[in-house]
Every structure is written in C-alpha cells, then in structure tokens.
Amino acid sequence: MPSDRTMIQFLLDEHYPAWLAENLTADGIDTVALMAHRPTSGALTTPAYSKLRSLNAGLS
C-alpha cells in the first residue's frame, strides 16, 4: 500500500550548506539539508531531530 508521506530524494549531511538544498529544491529536486535544521552551535536540537526523523520516516 502506498504511503501518504512525502518522500525526500536527497538528505544532505552537515558537510553541505542549507542554501544548496534550497537551490536544489527550487530546481525541482526534493532535498533537505541537515544544516537547515541545526542551530549554529552544532548541536542537533530535539525539535530539529524530530523534524528530520518525520521527514525521513518513509525512507527506511
């Protein structure tokens, strides 16, 4: 049975800037950057981690 969740084509890790995901998404490629959901201190916060987990849930 198909899932109603949106699938992400690319999940960019902390080595890639958030603007790259924004540019790829603007070009029609579904992309999420970890750095877009991360505070500048480098620690992944619980709300950001939860958001990424929910976006990525359908991939496993």
Q: Long-range pairs for 31-38 at CB < 8 Å and ≥24 separation?
A: 32/8, 38/14
H or E stretch including 27? none
Q: pTM for the full model?
A: 0.51
Looking at residue 17, its pLDDT comes to 86
pLDDT per residue as tens, the chain (60 positions): 566 666 668 888 888 888 888 899 899 888 888 877 665 555 555 666 677 777 766 555
For the chain, where are the E strands, in sequence order?
A: 10-12, 31-33
Looking at residue 2, its pLDDT comes to 60
* Backbone φ and ψ of 45, nearest 5°: -80, 160
